[in-house]
Structure 1
Amino acid sequence: MIRKYYLISQQPGLYPLPRTIDWNKVVDKTFLTESLSYKQPMISSVLVKKSDTVETIYPDILFIDFIPVFSEKAIEVLSIYEPSMTVKHINFIEEAGDDIKLYNIPILKEIDCLSEKTIFKCGRQIDKGVLIKENIPDLSIFKIAGEIDRERVVIRTDFAESFLKRRLKGVALRRLEVV
């Protein structure tokens, strides 16, 4: 049986999303790999610019610099499927300091499973994703290895269904082909 997989991304059109002030000072994306994750602190705090006009929307999944950032609700679902996955905790603190939102960065395995049949647009953005079945390990979530712009986080159908059943906000899915 061939399993189904999806690219997961942040739902377009959500506004205003948290605008981080010091993200790159606090989160070093080079440390968000399995081999270097010990260098990123377990808990970090990031300042968020407070919106003057409307309340900031905090969806259950954010992508900041293409890094997946999950809410507490989303990380609960993740822990069902990948209980031993390393997770780094991020506190989003609004400028006034009156509100703190708890988020998490899962440290995802990078898997080289993208087929040559994949179609790209605008450089290295996946337009039609094709995965190689033999290269996909038994993981519910992983990152596609290589130089890819934008979305590159893949989730398995059962994990996607759990996200949808719990009505997580801000999640967009795009089906991938498996050969």
Structure 2
Amino acid sequence: MEYFRIKQDPEYFDALIIPDVINQIERRYVTPEAAHRINEITIFKLAGKATPKFIDLLDRQLFLISAPLRQTFELYVPKLKYKTVIVVNSSKNLQQTYYLPIFVPVDCLSEKSSLTPDKRGVKHLVLNQAALGRQAIFKVQHNYEDIIIARLDAAESILRRQLSGIKMYRVEIDE
């Protein structure tokens, strides 16, 4: 089976960046065990006169998805829980809703993966086939990086919906 890493398309350099997101939503709480510490709805106010690009996937700060992408995720992971993030720019009369998926992390990072010297990032991603199971969309267990993976059928379904700001990268599998 083939798997793909879902990431924000780097070509969207003018995509939305949410100020102080880390102060309101701590990355360590984005787990099923600690998600109760995150508000059900978090509102972020954007400052500035520029109009940000609202794309369907943001992953620079937290892994946030749009409503249409959430609908696709729900086809493959119906029991996945979400927290709501609303971004508001009152000076431009703009508002966009995103969702923070709360995945159960899967310990499937292969020993063949290569990490950065400080172990905070994954330079070369290799997944352990035996640990994957039959999950269609899942999060790889890693303390510092959001690594979201889609099985081939789920990846194709996401790409067919013509969502913006999404890039898929084939992942190597260790059998």
| Contact 1:119–1:129 (CA under 8 A) maintained in structure 2 | yes
In structure 2, which of residues 25, 28, 36 is the aligned counterpart of residue 27 of structure 1?
25
- Residue segments in structure 1 that go unaligned for 5+ positions in a row: none
Shift of 1:147: 4.0
TM-score by length of 1: 0.87
Quote the residue 2:93 is aligned against: 98
Residues 1:40 and 2:35 are matched in the alignment: no
In structure 2, which of residues 110, 129, 133 is the aligned counterpart of residue 133 of structure 1?
129
| Contact 2:49–2:92 (CA under 8 A) maintained in structure 1 | no
Residues 1:56 and 2:48 are matched in the alignment: no
Shift of 1:21: 2.3
Shift of 1:119: 3.0
Change (3 A) 1:137 1:47: farther
Quote the residue 1:175 is aligned against: 170
| Contact 2:49–2:91 (CA under 8 A) maintained in structure 1 | no
| Contact 1:50–1:56 (CA under 8 A) maintained in structure 2 | no
Change (3 A) 1:121 1:51: farther
Cα deviation code 1:45-77 (max 9, x no counterpart): 11223443xx31111000142x21000111010
In structure 2, which of residues 120, 124, 139 is the aligned counterpart of residue 143 of structure 1?
139
Change (3 A) 1:137 1:48: farther
Distance of 2:149 and 2:66 partners within structure 1: 17
- Residue segments in structure 2 that go unaligned for 5+ positions in a row: none
Cα deviation code 1:113-135 (max 9, x no counterpart): 11111234565433332211111
Shift of 1:103: 0.5
Identity of aligned residues (%): 22
In structure 2, which of residues 76, 80, 85 is the aligned counterpart of residue 85 of structure 1?
80
In structure 2, which of residues 74, 89, 108 is the aligned counterpart of residue 113 of structure 1?
108
Greater shift in the superposed pair: 75-84 or 14-23: 14-23
TM-score by length of 2: 0.88
Greater shift in the superposed pair: 67-76 or 16-25: 16-25
